[in-house]
Structure 1
Amino acid sequence: MNHHFLARTILAVGVALAMPTWAQQVPSNVAPRSASDADGQVRLTRVTPEYWRVTFHNPPYNIFGPVTIPQLNKIVSEIETDPRVRVVVFESDVPDFFLTHYDFVPPLTDTTGLPRGATGLPPLPDMLVRISKAPVVSIAMIRGRATGVGSELSLASDMRFASREKAVLSQWEIGAGLVPGGGPMSRLPRLMGRGRALEVLLTGNDIDGPTAERYGYVNRALPDAELDAFVDTMARRIARFDKQAIADIKRIVDESSLPSNEQIGAEWDGFIGSVQRAAAQRRVKQLMELGLQVKPDVEKRLPVYTGSLGGAD
């Protein structure tokens, strides 16, 4: 057995056994909303055989949890294996939220107990790597908050187009004492350079649509009224092209632009390591007491609330 794989497996199991459920630590009058209590969180629409749309639907905040993972994985597998599909657009039908952070209500064992994916990586980084490398063009159409997992899925997509007025991107994890686990440390420097990547990762601040465009976080930020038509027109154009040519172009571009699977896997290890630290447990508990996964204001203004947490750790 590969010793690195064995060490990572032991770490994940050890953390799963030791890690409490944050939701159980908050006062009984607080009822955090879990992403794990809903089916149909990821919906597939075949606009044409060549052009698909994947819609995130987990109102009110589009929180991503362990039950979301197999739903998304099923669709990613279909994208990889369908012989006709050429382009897929990721979108949301939840107002103000594209896709947000990981769910802190279920026990960590609900996540660490899931089987590894086809790449050998844990499920979330596995799916993000497979989206990047699929022989299909992936486009993230960002309207609302793309926070944490939402940012990471957008970065894994081949292109990102954002609403100038309504898109907000962030890697918020530093404010909770966490290390992001879905690949932004490897992907962001390739898009925007080291300094700007560190600004995003080490401040946890929101990045609006125009700034995201200027930094290279997204391809373009368009007026909200124009976003849908722009993305639809581009997707339909790509859907008319030869699938093998699309696959070959992507494969060659990927060779010089994507991080390795090992780099992405190391970020997940960093996340798993961070969640067992007392500082992270304390900060997430404070956020949940303030209303994380419950109050709209907390979900919409995470940097304000993470910046209000007491004391250095």
Structure 2
Amino acid sequence: MAFAAIGRTGIGQIEALMGIVPGWGGTQYLVSRVGRNRALEVVLGADLHDAETAERYGWVNRAVPADELDDIVDRLARNIAALPDGVIVAAKRAIVPGDLAEGLLRGHDAWVGQVVSPAAERLIRGGLAHGAQTRDGERDLEGLLRGLAG
């Protein structure tokens, strides 16, 4: 489950701006949440999306006012904790994603094929040289990486 604070959340997949695709299952988890077409838009567009868009896409369960987020998540946690023994495990067994194993392998192969490319090396090194790993760099990561790619 995922929740986003309206006015404070920014979510995106910017790896394409570094010359790679999202790794470690990022592509498969994204497809399972938003579908193939939206996943292609998110990965190839490499934009930052607000909470409302993330909710509309199915990326997060709900977009909620920032001052209500803790209360909503706490209430959900209490509700889940109060369930009878075995219900949580049974629900997780019954509600399964698609063929995640195959998707993870395909995503990994795509990532490995890209991460060793000269373009990815140039973009990743350039990003680090320009502070992509710093707090300020992360605040405008899309802009920083677009500047390097252009």
Q: TM-score, normalised by structure 2?
A: 0.91
Report the Cα distance in structure 1 between the residues aligned to 2:116 and 2:108, rounded to whole angstroms.
13
**Structure 1 residues not aligned, in runs of 5+:** 1-158
Seq. identity, %: 38
Q: Is the 8 A contact 2:11 2:49 kept in 1?
A: yes
Equivalent runs, 1:194-209 vs 2, <5 Å = 194-209=36-51
| 3-state secondary structure, aligned to 1:199 | helix
Shift of 1:181: 1.1
Matched residue, 2:126: 286
Which deviations, in whole Å up to 9, do the C-alpha atoms of 1:137-188 show, x marking residues without a partner? xxxxxxxxxxxxxxxxxxxxxx111111211111110000012112232232
Q: Which has the higher helix share?
A: 2
Report the Cα distance in structure 2 between the residues aligned to 1:183 and 1:194, rounded to whole angstroms.
14
Equivalent runs, 1:1-313 vs 2, <5 Å = 159-254=1-96, 257-294=97-134, 296-311=135-150
| 3-state secondary structure, aligned to 2:75 | helix
Residue type of the partner of 1:221?
A
Count of matched residue positions in the alignment of Structure 1 and Structure 2: 150
Shift of 1:191: 2.5
Shift of 1:272: 2.5
Shift of 1:310: 4.5
**Structure 2 residues not aligned, in runs of 5+:** none
Which deviations, in whole Å up to 9, do the C-alpha atoms of 1:26-85 show, x marking residues without a partner? xxxxxxxxxxxxxxxxxxxxxxxxxxxxxxxxxxxxxxxxxxxxxxxxxxxxxxxxxxxx
Q: Is the 8 A contact 1:181 1:269 kept in 2?
A: no
Report the Cα distance in structure 2 between the residues aligned to 1:189 and 1:310, rounded to whole angstroms.
25
Q: Is the 8 A contact 2:17 2:149 kept in 1?
A: no
Report the Cα distance in structure 2 between the residues aligned to 1:184 and 1:210, rounded to whole angstroms.
21
Matched residue, 1:40: none
Which deviations, in whole Å up to 9, do the C-alpha atoms of 1:85-144 show, x marking residues without a partner? xxxxxxxxxxxxxxxxxxxxxxxxxxxxxxxxxxxxxxxxxxxxxxxxxxxxxxxxxxxx
| 3-state secondary structure, aligned to 1:168 | coil
Q: Which has the higher strand share?
A: 1
Higher relative contact order (CA 8 A, sep 6+): 2
Report the Cα distance in structure 2 between the residues aligned to 1:164 and 1:230, rounded to whole angstroms.
13
| 3-state secondary structure, aligned to 1:221 | strand
Which deviations, in whole Å up to 9, do the C-alpha atoms of 1:256-294 show, x marking residues without a partner? x34321311332232223221111000111111211213
Q: Is the 8 A contact 2:21 2:43 kept in 1?
A: no
Q: Is the 8 A contact 1:187 1:258 kept in 2?
A: no
| Aligned alpha-carbon RMSD (Å) | 1.6
Q: Is the 8 A contact 1:183 1:267 kept in 2?
A: yes
| 3-state secondary structure, aligned to 2:147 | coil
**After TM superposition, which residue ranges in structure 1, 4 or more long, deviate above 6 angstroms?**
none
Report the Cα distance in structure 2 between the residues aligned to 1:258 and 1:162, rounded to whole angstroms.
25
Residue type of the partner of 2:142?
P
